[in-house]
Amino acid sequence: MPTHYEIAAGKRTVNKLEKSYIEGRKQFEGLKRTDRTRMATGKIYYALDDIDSYGVFLEWYEEDLEEFDALYHKGVSIERLAERFNRLEDEVGLLIMDRAIKGHLSVKAREKSIRKLYN
C-alpha cells in the first residue's frame, strides 16, 4: 500500500483513492450514485481507525481463523469464542462481521447447526 507521500508524488489524492475504493465496492452503490458531490468535498470519518487506543485489537493469526470459523458455524457463543481465543468479546464480534462480509461465515449455516442441537 503506498504511503501518503507516494500518493502525493503521484498526484493522486487520498480523496481520489477513497472514491475509487468506494466505487469498486458493492455495498457503497447507493452512496456513489446519490451523493457524488458530497464525496468529493465532504469530510470523511474512518470507522475503527483508532480502535487499538481503546484496547481492542483487530490482528488475528491466520491459523486461528479456520478453527474460529468452524466453532462459529457449530453455534459456539461469542463469550465462549472470546474465552477460547483469549480475546475481548468486541474483538470476536468485529471478526465475525469481517468474516461474514468477506463470505467466510454464514449465518444460515450457523442457524442450521444450532437448530440441530435443539431438535
String of b and e for 13-52 (b: at least 16 CB within 10 Å)? eeeeeeeeebeeeeeeeeeeeeeeeebeeeeeeeeeeeee
Summarize pLDDT for 104-113 with one digit per residue, the tens: 998 888 888 8
Q: List the domain boundaries for the chain.
A: 4-41, 51-118
C-alpha dist (Å) from residue 73 to 1, 94, 118: 33, 16, 15
Q: What is the pTM for the complete model shown? A: 0.61
Q: What are phi and psi of 64, to 5 degrees?
A: -80, -20
Summarize pLDDT for 33-52 with one digit per residue, the tens: 455 555 555 677 778 888 88
